[in-house]
Structure 1
Amino acid sequence: MGKKAKIIYLILGIGIGFVISSTFYSFFPVTKYVELNDDIIIERARELGMVPLKESIDLENMEANEENVDNDNTSEPIDENQIDKIDDGQEEPYNDAEGNSHEDKLIKLVVKKGEKLSDIANSLFELGLIDNVEEFKSFVRENGYGRLLHYGEFEIKENSSYSDILKILTHKK
C-alpha cells in the first residue's frame, strides 16, 4: 500500500469514529437536568451583582436623603476663622496634649487581579481597617458587592465604615 492510501484510510477512520461517537451520544446524552425555582435564580443573580428594582430605588432614595441632610447643614452662619480655613483649602489636623494628630490617615491597600473576597478581607484586617473578617465578608455578601470589587491600588481612610470601604473598592479609577 502506498503512503497516500495510508493517509486516506487514517482520515477516513477518524471521520467514521466521529460519526459513530456522535450517533452514540445523541441516543444516550450525558446531561444533568437541574430544576430551577425562583429562589435559586434570584440568589444566583444577587451573587452576580444584580439587585431588584425596588432595592435599587430604595438605595437611590437613601443616598439622596443623605445628600439633602448634608446640604441642610451648610445653611449655618460661618465665622471668620472658618472662612480662613476655606481660603487655605486645607484644614489643620487637631493635635492633643501629647502631640498626636487626630487627622484620619490614608492607608494604602493593593488588591491583585483575581483576588478572592477572603483575601481582600484578610488584607483589610491586617491593615487595621476592619475589626472582624467574617463580619465584613457577610456584610459584602448581604449587600451584593461580591462580584463588584475591583483590583488596583486604593487609599482608604483609617476609621472608614464598611460601606465607605466598599464604595472605594467598587469604583474604578
Structure 2
Amino acid sequence: MTKKIYFFYILIGVGIGIIFSTFIFKLNPIIEYKQYSDDEVIEKAKELGMVFVKENIDVKPSSKEEYSSFVVKNGDTLIDISNNLFKKGFVDDPDEFTQFVKDKGLERKIAPEKYELKKNLSYTTILKILTEKE
C-alpha cells in the first residue's frame, strides 16, 4: 500500500473517533456549568486571598513630607546613634549603618543636636544631614 492510502485511513479513523466521542459526551456530559454572579465571584476571590488593587493603594496625595525629630545627645557613641536610628525606623540595620559611617571616616563628625529626618532616606543622605553644621 502506498503512503496516500495509509494517510486516508488515518484521517478516516480520527474523524470517526471525533464523531463517536462527541456523540458520547452529548448524551452524558461530565461537566456541569454554573453561572456565577459578580458578587459570588468577588466573594470567592476574597476567600482565596485576592484583593482589589484600589483597596491596597493609598490614594490620598501626600503634599507634606513627614519629618520626625532625632536627637544626638552629648556623649553618644556611634553605636548608640545607630541603634537609636534603628529604633526610630530611619535605618534597617544598625550594624550596617555603623560600618558605613566608619568606612566614610565620619564617626567623629556627628554633632550632638536635634535633627529633622524623614523615613526611607539613604545612608548617605542621613550621614550628610548628621555631619553638616548649621
Shift of 1:96: 3.5
Deviations 1:22-50 (A, max 9, x none): xxxxxxxxxxxxxxxxxxxxxxxxxxxxx
The separation in 2 between residues aligned to 1:126 and 1:102, in whole angstroms, is 26
1:148 and 2:122 aligned: no
Q: Which runs of 4+ in 1 moved over 4 A?
A: none
Q: Tell me the residue number matched to 1:133.
A: 94
The answer (yes or no) to whether the contact 1:104–1:158 under 8 Å persists in 2 is no
Count of residue pairs the alignment pairs up: 78
1:96 and 2:58 aligned: yes
Which TM-score applies when normalising by structure 2? 0.53
* Aligned pairs for 1:1-173 within 5 A: 96-97=58-59, 99=60, 101=62, 104-173=65-134
Which residue identity lines up with residue 162 of structure 1 in the other structure? Y
Shift of 1:156: 1.0
Shift of 1:104: 3.4
Shift of 1:171: 1.2
Gapped regions of structure 1 (runs ≥ 5) = 1-94
Over alpha carbons, which structure has the higher Rg? 2
Shift of 1:107: 1.4
Q: CA RMSD in A?
A: 2.0
Shift of 1:102: 7.3
Structure-2 change in CA distance of 1:102 and 1:128 (3 Å): farther
- Percent identity of paired positions between Structure 1 and Structure 2: 41
Gapped regions of structure 2 (runs ≥ 5) = 1-56
The separation in 2 between residues aligned to 1:132 and 1:159, in whole angstroms, is 13
Deviations 1:58-92 (A, max 9, x none): xxxxxxxxxxxxxxxxxxxxxxxxxxxxxxxxxxx
Which TM-score applies when normalising by structure 1? 0.42
The separation in 2 between residues aligned to 1:96 and 1:146, in whole angstroms, is 38
The separation in 1 between residues aligned to 2:88 and 2:65, in whole angstroms, is 14
